[in-house]
Structure 1
Amino acid sequence: MNNNKIYELTQDGVDKLKNELTDLIDNKRPQNLIFLKEAREQGDLSENADYDAARNEQSKIETRIIEIENILKNTKIIRLSNKDIVEIGKVVEVEHLDQGKVAKYYLVGTIEANPMKKKISVDSPLGKALIGHEKGDVLSYKSPTGKTFSIKILDVLNENL
């Protein structure tokens, strides 16, 4: 998998990928090899569901190892500026003017995004709208459903959620 794409990640994102890679290599791969060995010992491999499942899992593990190694090899770690400008790697506190709700979002690269944990991609509609703005700015963005939302930036923080 030779990929020239550069992945922008926070240090936290890099650390999580390194931990996942270590777990795959040190735990999941050896455990899977034990399952493969046990399944082989059951005899006829042509009708052995355990063997097929272990081979499928082995394929997933090896693919993910290669994927993580490629990402880490092509990663640019995000360095935060001290400016109060919204950029990748910063936490932004916003007020959703239509609903009167306040929320904090952590702006991250696409592969770190997790909306359930308030980690939004800078490539998302909200992320794109926020980038380059500062505290006090009022702006609007269009959601993937086509609805337009207005927000006010209450604060720009150099911290993690």
Structure 2
Amino acid sequence: MTAGPEPMSEAARAALNRELSELRGERAKVAATLDDADEPGDRADQADELQRATEAERLDARIEEIEGRLREASAAGPPSNGTIGVGSTVGVRFGDGTESTLHIGELADADDPALVTVDSPLGRALLGHAAGDSVAYATPLGRTTAVVLSVGAGGGS
């Protein structure tokens, strides 16, 4: 990622807000099952209670992560035209000469094979760049490059 807070498209913001709402609902269900009794019960009860508490902690961490990302995006403002940010649609030419249109998103989506997350090496390399820029990034086979052909607003998550 770039040095400052990353801008986020409205579509990406909406996707994170949906996930946040779902996580809060799931967290409320888990919290309702946590036992406040003073007597610990048998080992199975203790193990089940520990598992639910661990799940609550996992949910709390993800909720905090999303809230932080939404605050950061608010501070950054909307993505600027012509600069790659979360939600951008990007045309790129890879080092081997192939061209592709990609969507830059926060969350992986199995239904969108063109989605590149901001946490991936290519996603991190592209953020903040504009058409005409060349970026280098790591792949399992070593470092490679891509040239940004075009940047547009998109509906990525």
- The one-letter code of the counterpart of 1:52 is L
Distance in 1 (CA, whole Å) between partners of 2:18 and 2:84 is: 26
- Counterpart Cα distance in 2 of 1:95 and 1:80: 22
- 1:94-125 C-alpha deviation (Å, 9 max, x unpaired): 34352x533111245xxx16495522439845
Query: Which of the numbers 99, 103, 107 marks the counterpart of 1:102?
Result: 99
Q: Which of 141, 144, 147 is matched with 1:148 structurally?
A: 144
Aligned to 1:23: 22
State the AA in 2 paired with 1:148: T
Q: CA deviation at 1:32?
A: 0.5
> Could you state the TM-score of these two structures normalised by the residue count of structure 1?
0.63
In 1: Cα distance, 2:32 partner to 2:119 partner: 42
**CA displacement at 1:151 relative to structure 2:** 4.7
The superposition leaves residues 28-87 of structure 1 with CA deviations (integer Å, 9 ceiling, x where unpaired) of: 1221023324x9699526662111101111112222223322332232243342xxx453
Deviates more, 1:68-77 or 1:14-23: 68-77
Instruction: Report the Cα distance in structure 1 between the residues aligned to 2:56 and 2:89, rounded to whole angstroms.
Output: 38
Q: Would the aligned equivalents of 2:89 and 2:104 in 1 still touch at CA under 8 Å?
A: yes
- Report the Cα offset of residue 133 of structure 1: 2.6
Higher RCO, 1 or 2 (CA under 8 Å, sep at least 6)?
Answer: 2
Quote the Cα distance in structure 2 between the aligned partners of 1:73 and 1:126: 21
Q: Distance in 2 between matches of 1:28 and 1:20?
A: 10
2:7 and 2:77 in contact (8 A); partners too? yes
1:17 deviates by 1.8
In structure 2, the CA distance between the partners of 1:92 and 1:57, relative to structure 1 (3 Å rule), is same
What is the aligned length?
Answer: 144
For structure 2, the residue ranges without an aligned partner over 5 or more in a row are none
Residue 22 of structure 1 aligns with an amino acid whose one-letter code is S
Conserved 8 A contact 1:80-1:90: no
SS in 2 for 1:9: coil
1:158 aligned to 2:156? no
Q: Which runs of 5+ in 1 are unaligned?
A: none
Secondary structure of the corresponding residue to residue 30 of structure 1? helix
Question: How large is the RMSD of aligned CA atoms in angstroms?
Answer: 3.8
